[in-house]
Chains A and B, each alone.
Chain A
Amino acid sequence: MAPKVGLFIPCYIDQLYPQVGIATLKILEHFGCDVEYPETQTCCGQPMANTGCTNEVGPLAKRFLEIFKSYDAVVCPSGSCVSMVKHHYAEYFTDNPEYEALKGKTFEFCEYLTNVLGVKKLAGRFPHKVGLHQSCHGLRELRLASDSEIVGPPFGTAQALLESIDGVEVTTLQRPDECCGFGGTFAVAEEAVSCMMGEDRVHDHEQAGTEVLTALDMSCLMHLSGIIRRQKKPIRVMHISEIFAECL
């Protein structure tokens, strides 16, 4: 039986980047999932949580559990929102077995492809120099890849999937996993630092020869592409699911 997947599309992807949701859906269906998009979902509450307004998160966390608890898996094209659900909901659910179960079956998109569906090779051709921006929450909260701070063997689901596509060359950065500076409300509250961080990431990708900039998180890319477009840099920005879907 095909796994019944609840598609968790973060609010800003729903409203601003529908093509990312569509690409995610296509790939999951391509690999045989029975995907459903529960209509009543809105936002996981991350913006409020990151501002310290946890009172405002509680009702959203409870809604989220109700909406998604019946699926075999919950899959989301954003490491940051997955990390919110898995790591920052605990205070709203004391000893709740349904939440414990939800934690175990909520996955970031590439993580689900690799670790649950066992996808090792993606079809198609993408003859480009691809720059992979390591979104921090996927990296240091969900541990979807090794980071440059911790001593240990290197690994990474997203990079492996990208490199399995014919023609893809992942570029080598001077700072492999520095934060882009989005950081949610940080992007506005600390505008000067945020933009300088973003600009520095863009420069690093430029010097590395990146043609297509990608990431697990559209939020990082919204920030980076905002800078790329303002400065009219010749770098195309795509969410990783869009690259996969374009290769289908």
Chain B
Amino acid sequence: MPAHPKLAAAFIKDKDRAHWHDQSLWFVRSKRDKAVNQLPEWELLREQASKIKSYVVSHLPDLLEEFEKNAKAKGVHVHWARNATEHNEIVHGILKQHEVTRVVKSKSMLTEECHLNPYLERHGIEIVDTDLGEWIVQLQDKPPSHIVMPAIHIKKEEIGELFHEKLGTEKGATDPQYLTEAARQHLRQKFVGAEAGITGVNFAIAETGGFVVCTNEGNADLGTSLNKLHIACMGIEKLIPRANDLSVFLRLLARSATGQPITTYSSHFHGPAPGAELHIVLLDNGRSEISGSDEFRRSLNCIRCAACMNTCPVYRRSGGYSYNNTVPGPIGSILGPAKDAKEHASLPFACSLCGSCTDVCPVKIDLHHQLLTWRKEIRVRGLLPYSKRLSMKLMSWMMQAPSLYRFAGKCARSIVPHLPRFLLYNRFNAWGKQRELPDFPKQSFREWMKKNHDDK
């Protein structure tokens, strides 16, 4: 897969679309601003959430055991998965045992991370995503491009076209209400026919053994109440210690994600319904390794609100697919290299270090500093291209010798202004493709100082 700059440039080639994408996401960011400014205690909430999550990450083993004990006491089956393969095998095992062939799933980035859909399909199980956006990208056979709004990159005309082809809706239809209704009717059939429901988990409560799933469409409720088997898949960092802590996180999550005061549905699951079975699969997949790293531990605080994506000036203009990672944007650029530094080596550099992500993050992850730390890590692991390493070495060497620096500066300032334009502006000069170079002055500041100031 090409690196981020290439994929980003390809996305931007269609300028109108890139602008449209940028503005759609900026609209969400603005809604977030309005919502959070109504809470004078916003910064306090962030501080609290950050502290609670840091506590969780540093007490993971104890809290996980507490959660397991309390969940089991409620009649829940608890499973542990070290990695994606184990996770998928466990889920498949449960389904097979119940002879299930049709499953509905509400939105879960974790199952995307594990590529559960193709795995189950290979084993003859039909799995349907029931979150509208996620279902749309599933129909396209594509992954989500955003973790809260999976189809944010698709225009309504394209959805009309897709539905016409797959569901037989009218050709050329673009009315959102008409299209949503068509999706609704189609998904209804799937809900009714499903023999099991899979959900993600937003918050799991150690103290009670229960968990909460937040959706705006109510699809988690429907998908788990029409049948007798519910499998909830969660990353081990999704824990919170007490039920009380929900009062902090539920207020932060929806405001940060979409600017809503709270998600339309916050579904609480505390044990299976009468006559039904409830399974929880706890996945590690590299998380405990991150929890052992002083530098990157805080990235496990993430509650997947996507505020950092909505605010990221790069993400908004380059689109989710340019990251080539299940989770895109700033947090994805930290989690991606943690999983495979070589494959995702360009992501920590897909950032202007503006720091906006750090300031919107509801759990106060120092995202842009972690990205900078990743750059160092990539250099240390020898994954930085040789040309970059060499130029930085040369530059440092020159900057340690003032006379050399003065000489180089003087040469550049006396030569560049006399060069013909084609020598300055060509394909080797990425700066000059869309920008003018500065006018090179005759005199540097230090030369001016020598002449005009020092002998004063």
Contact = CB atoms under 8 A, between A and B. Distances in A.
Contact of A181 (B313, B355, B402): B313
Interface of A is mostly: helix
Contact of A194 (B15, B352, B393, B399): B352
Interface stretch (A40-48, A116-124, A158-166, A240-248): A40-48
A33 interface: no
B400 A60 contact: yes
B275 interface: no
A136 B352 contact: yes
A179 interface: yes
6 contacts: A9-B445, A15-B412, A50-B375, A151-B36, A189-B349, A193-B12
Given A56-B396, A136-B352, A15 B22 contact: no
B372 A50 contact: yes
B359 A150 contact: yes
B376 A190 contact: no
Given A50-B375, A197-B317, A230 B400 contact: no
B141 interface: no
B360 A149 contact: yes
Contact of A192 (B9, B349, B376): B9
Interface stretch (A16-24, A100-108, A207-215): A16-24
Contacts of A151: 36-37, 39-40, 42-43
A186 interface: yes
Given A18-B448, A47-B392, A52 B376 contact: yes
Contacts of A43: 395, 399, 405
Contacts of A227: 434-435
Q: Most chain-A Cβ atoms within 10 A of its Cβ — which of B393, B402, B431, B435?
A: B435
Contact of A230 (B348, B351, B436, B444): B436
B431 A188 contact: yes
B314 A193 contact: yes
Nearest to B433: A191
A226 interface: yes
Interface string B421-443: 00000000011011111101101
A21 to B, nearest CB: 4
Given A15-B413, A39-B402, A151-B43, A198 B435 contact: yes
Contacts of A192: 5, 8-9, 12
A108 B10 CA distance: 38
Given A50-B372, A191-B5, A56 B433 contact: no
A190 B350 contact: yes
Interface in B346-362: 348-356, 358-360
Contact of A22 (B36, B431, B448): B448
Given A14-B446, A63-B400, A190-B349, A48 B9 contact: no
Nearest to A227: B435
Contacts of A9: 445-446
Interface string A172-186: 000100110111111
Given A188-B430, A226-B435, 15 more contacts: A14-B446, A16-B440, A48-B392, A48-B395, A51-B392, A136-B355, A137-B355, A140-B356, A140-B359, A193-B8, A193-B313, A196-B12, A199-B434, A226-B436, A230-B435
A183 B354 contact: yes
B216 to A, nearest CB: 24
A60 B378 contact: no
Contacts of B441: 16-19
A30 interface: no
B318 interface: yes
A53 B379 contact: yes
The 4 closest A-B pairs by CB, nearest first: A183-B352, A226-B435, A52-B375, A140-B355
A195 interface: yes
Interface of A: 9, 11, 13-22, 25, 37, 39-43, 45, 47-54, 56-57, 59-60, 63, 136-137, 139-141, 147-152, 175, 178-179, 181-200, 222-223, 225-227, 229-230
Contact of B311 (A21, A149, A181): A149
Nearest to A15: B409
Name the residue in B313, B377, B393 with the highest tally of chain A Cβ atoms < 10 Å from its Cβ.
Answer: B313
Contacts of B438: 16-17, 222, 225-226
B389 interface: yes
B444 A136 contact: no
B269 interface: no
B4 interface: yes
Interface in B298-341: 311, 313-314, 317-318
A45 B399 contact: yes
A224 B323 CA distance: 26
Nearest to B37: A151
A81 B179 CA distance: 52
A195 B375 contact: no
Contacts of A200: 22
Interface string B372-408: 1011111110001000110011011011101001000
Contact of B402 (A42, A137, A185): A42
Contacts of A149: 33, 311, 356, 359-360
Contacts of B37: 151
A199 B18 CA distance: 13
Contacts of A187: 431
Contact of A191 (B9, B350, B374): B9
B449 interface: yes
B166 interface: no
Contact of B400 (A42, A185, A191): A42
B313 A60 contact: no
A115 to B, nearest CB: 21
Contacts of B311: 149
A20 B438 CA distance: 13
A185 B392 CA distance: 11
B122 interface: no
A56 B435 contact: no
A195 B399 contact: no
B437 A226 contact: yes
A22 B445 contact: yes
A196 to B, nearest CB: 5
B453 interface: yes
B317 A21 contact: no
Contacts of A178: 313, 354, 356
A57 B372 contact: no
